[in-house]
């Protein structure tokens, strides 16, 4: 096994592991890599949807998206398609997947099916390091507070995207509050658990103060020295600890840029626990 670090903050590309062969007997190796590096990448992994689901189940129960219909025959898998003539791409903007749920996603396994010849990278930011490096005065304000995370409703995930359909569940917006500083259930590390897309207010603060502090935190979370960036190739797999990172799917390959290419990814998510 060879481990290539992507940055000083987080992220590692792993060579020498065939994800088809990961099972209960050797899963600890993969999980330890994930806990250490927060997001891990594997190239040349021609896994089937069934194998992707079985891999996800090693991490825990698989969840279906709150609003979006899954892949035909595999409702646990959300196929993310950006047509060549579309500008919008699912996953733009810094976020932690479904942070608005009572039990936000634990981990995500994303496999590339078709990628553009240039662009379409994904950036990840280390929220354990973000907490460690946060301004002390802001730390004092938020350490024991909660923030409200909003789902934004089905339209946010469906209306501006050609290939996404409703799964027929409730389409209304809902919200849940979580500690701004959560504790990692496996490592005990402290994590800055807010994000630009879904976190809208700090519970117990006046609106203006809440907005001001959140904006400072969001700016801090996007610092380049907290991030790593992955350039996709076909049949690459990313596994990230959704508790410890936020991520951003870059849409820089749309027609207006003189490019215009299709991008197809298969996403599966693992049910998490309630943040504490």
**What span, in angstroms and rounded, lies between the C-alpha atoms of 108 and 45?**
16
**What span, in angstroms and rounded, lies between the C-alpha atoms of 99 and 199?**
8
Domain that holds residue 57: 2-270
Cα–Cα nearest to 225, from 81, 101, 124: 124
Q: How many CA atoms lie within 13 A of 145 on its CB side?
A: 16
**pLDDT the model gives residue 27:** 97
**What span, in angstroms and rounded, lies between the C-alpha atoms of 43 and 59?**
20
Which segments within the chain are labelled E, that is strand? 2-5, 12-15, 39-42, 62-63, 77-82, 107-114, 122-126, 146-150, 175-179, 181-183, 190-192, 199-202, 227-230, 237-241, 245-249, 263-270
**What span, in angstroms and rounded, lies between the C-alpha atoms of 48 and 55?**
10
Establish if 14 belongs to a structural domain.
Answer: yes
pTM of the complete model: 0.96
Q: What is the pLDDT of residues 107-161, one digit of tens each?
A: 999 999 999 999 999 999 999 999 999 999 999 999 999 999 999 999 999 998 9
Establish if 209 belongs to a structural domain.
Answer: yes
Q: What is the pLDDT of residues 219-234, one digit of tens each?
A: 999 999 999 999 999 9
Establish if 275 belongs to a structural domain.
Answer: no
Query: Which structure tokens are listed for 190?
Result: 């402290």
**pLDDT the model gives residue 3:** 98
Tell me the average pLDDT of the chain.
Answer: 96
Residue tagged 């027929």 (tokens): 168
Domains of the chain: total: 1
Please identify every stretch of the chain with a pLDDT value under 50, giving residue numbers as ranges: none
Residue tagged 């410890």 (tokens): 244
Question: How many other CB atoms are there within 10 angstroms of residue 230's CB atom?
Answer: 19
**pLDDT the model gives residue 199:** 98
Establish if 103 belongs to a structural domain.
Answer: yes
**What span, in angstroms and rounded, lies between the C-alpha atoms of 97 and 238?**
14
Establish if 276 belongs to a structural domain.
Answer: no
CATH number of the domain bearing residue 258: 3.60.130.10
Under 8 Å CB-to-CB from 27, ≥6 apart: which residues? 58
Establish if 48 belongs to a structural domain.
Answer: yes
């Amino acid at each position: 096994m060879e481990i290539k670090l992507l940055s000083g903050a987080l992220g590692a590309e792993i060579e020498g592991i065939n994800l088809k062969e990961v099972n209960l007997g050797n899963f600890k190796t993969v999980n330890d890599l994930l806990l250490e590096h927060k997001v891990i990448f594997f190239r040349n992994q021609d896994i089937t949807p069934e194998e992707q689901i079985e891999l996800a189940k090693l991490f825990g129960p698989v969840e279906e998206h709150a609003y979006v219909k899954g892949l035909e025959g595999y409702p646990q898998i959300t196929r993310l398609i950006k047509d060549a003539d579309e500008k919008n791409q699912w996953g733009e903007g810094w976020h932690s997947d479904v942070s608005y749920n009572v039990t936000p996603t634990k981990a995500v396994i994303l496999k590339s099916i078709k990628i553009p010849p240039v662009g379409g990278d994904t950036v990840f930011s280390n929220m354990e390091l973000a907490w460690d490096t946060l301004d002390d005065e802001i730390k004092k304000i938020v350490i024991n507070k909660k923030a409200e995370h909003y789902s934004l409703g089905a339209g946010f995930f469906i209306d501006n995207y050609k290939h996404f359909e409703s799964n027929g569940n409730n389409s209304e917006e809902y919200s849940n509050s979580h500690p701004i500083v959560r504790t990692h259930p496996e490592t005990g590390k402290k994590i800055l658990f807010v994000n630009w897309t879904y976190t809208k207010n700090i519970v117990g603060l006046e609106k203006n103060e809440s907005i001001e502090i959140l904006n400072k935190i969001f700016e801090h979370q996007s610092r380049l020295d907290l991030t790593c960036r992955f350039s996709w190739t076909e049949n690459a797999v990313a596994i990230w600890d959704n508790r410890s990172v936020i991520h951003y799917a870059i849409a820089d390959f749309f027609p207006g840029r003189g490019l215009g290419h299709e991008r197809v990814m298969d996403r599966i998510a693992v049910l998490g626990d309630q943040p504490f």
